[in-house]
Structures are given as structure tokens and as C-alpha cells.
Amino acid sequence: MRLGIFGGSFDPVHYGHLLLAESCREQCQLEEVWWVPTASAPHKRHLPAASARHRTEMLQLALGGHDAMHVSLLEIERSGVSYTVDTLTAIHAARPDAELFLLLGADALADLPHWREPDRICALAIPVAVRRAGSADPCYEPLRAVVTPQRLAVFQQYQVTMPLVGLASSDIRARVAQGTSVRFRTPRAVEKYIQTHGLYR
């Protein structure tokens, strides 16, 4: 089984996230993609603006009807700071039959050697570098310090191109706080959920 792992705050989820996941699913022929919302990310200073429950509900609404997309509560249930190596270790233990693919933006790929136990991460999963259409190819040079040339050659086979979408969760939160429209930036069901629950105001 080819299983994609997509972690993030998703605060809130938007169409850029959705396009990334679907592009990876299609181009890497993944049978499933697990979305893993963080409890608290080590590279972010502040806790997510919306609670874990709200972020999970919004993800479920955004993914509704897609049989290959699922939300995993692994990091939220573990609580505390979420390290990718711990998450991949737990998923590998639960699904030893699955070949794991870690979905990353090209910028995150370059920073991967600075994450906790990058060699272990690269042993557990294949990092999938996602770049926006028209941008430069991902740079794999930083990974040479943590993987063999043979393993790196495998990684380079899995490059995904997605449409150019300039969306950010921080921008959506700011627009909600200012009372301006977020229509067509996030699924309508997510937009209505934000309004109903008074999030980000």
C-alpha cells in the first residue's frame, strides 16, 4: 500500500492544501493520503488559533466525499509538540505493510536536515517534493548529508508539480478578523463553519 502523510496546522485548511494533496495522490499513485493536524508544531512559536476540534471538523468538511483522503488524530491525541519522526514511527508500527510518502513543499524539503532525526525520517518515508508550476526544481543537495546516494536517487523520482496557488492560512485568518471575504479561498463548508463558530475574530 502506498500511503501519503500530510502534516500541518491546517488553521484553516484551504484550496492550496487540497490541491497539494490531490496532486501528490495522483502523480505518486498513492492509495490513501492521511492528513495529520498538529497539536503544536516545533517550528511555530504560537499554538494554532483554532482548537484541535475545530481544525479537525474543518478538515472533515473539506475532505467529505473523497474516499482516499482521511484525517488522522495521531498527533492531536498524543498532544504536546509534534515531531515528524515520532509520527512516522507510530504510523509505521501500525501499518508495517505500507510504503510511506511524506508530502512536503520544496522549501520544507530543503530544511528537512534540520528536523529532529532527519536520517530516521528518510528511512521511514520517501519525502515527496511539491513545487508550484513555473518554479525551480526542488533542491536535494541538503539531503546528501543524511541519506545514501542510492536512497537520494529514489527520492528524486517523486517530484510533484501543482498549480500555482497563492493561498495561506494566515491570510485567511487575517481576512476573517478584518471582516473581508474568504470565498473561493477555502471550501464553502469550511467558510460557513468559521462563520458559525466565530473563529479567527
Return the CATH number at 145. Answer: 3.40.50.620
pLDDT band at 44 (very low <50, low <70, confident <90, very high): low
Cell reading at 111: 530544511
pLDDT at position 78 over 70:
yes
In three-state secondary structure terms, 16 is: helix
In a domain, 28, yes or no: yes
Distance CA 188, CA 14 (A): 10
Query: What's the confidence (pLDDT) of residue 39?
Result: 86
**Averaged over 154-178, what is the pLDDT?**
94
Q: Which residue has the cell 482516499?
A: 68
Question: Residue 147: what pLDDT?
Answer: 96
- By three-state DSSP, how is residue 129 classified? strand
Which of 80, 1, 88 lies closest to 36 in space, CA to CA?
88
- Residue 149 maps to a domain: yes
Q: Residue 132 pairs with which residues in a beta bridge?
A: 162
Contact 117, 20 (CB under 8 A): no
**Residue 63 host element (H or E):** helix 52-63
Tell me what the mean pLDDT of segment 176-199 comes to: 98
Confidence band of 9 (pLDDT split at 50, 70, 90): very high
- 195 falls within a domain: no
Residue at 185 is within a domain: no
* Mean pLDDT value across the chain: 94
* 177 domain residue, yes or no: no
Residues 119 and 183: their CA atoms lie apart, in Å, by: 41
Q: Is 147 helix (H, G, I), strand (E, B) or coil?
A: coil
Q: Does pLDDT of 8 surpass 80?
A: yes
Number of domains in the chain: 1
In which domain, by residue range, is 103 found? 2-165
Give the pLDDT confidence of 111-140 residue by residue, as tens digits. Answer: 999 999 999 999 999 999 998 877 888 899
pTM of this structure: 0.94
Q: What mean pLDDT is predicted for residues 70-96? A: 94
pLDDT band at 45 (very low <50, low <70, confident <90, very high): low
Alpha-carbon torsion 71, 73, 79, 81, what sign?
Answer: negative
What is the C-alpha to C-alpha distance for residues 59 and 41, in angstroms, rounded to an integer? 17
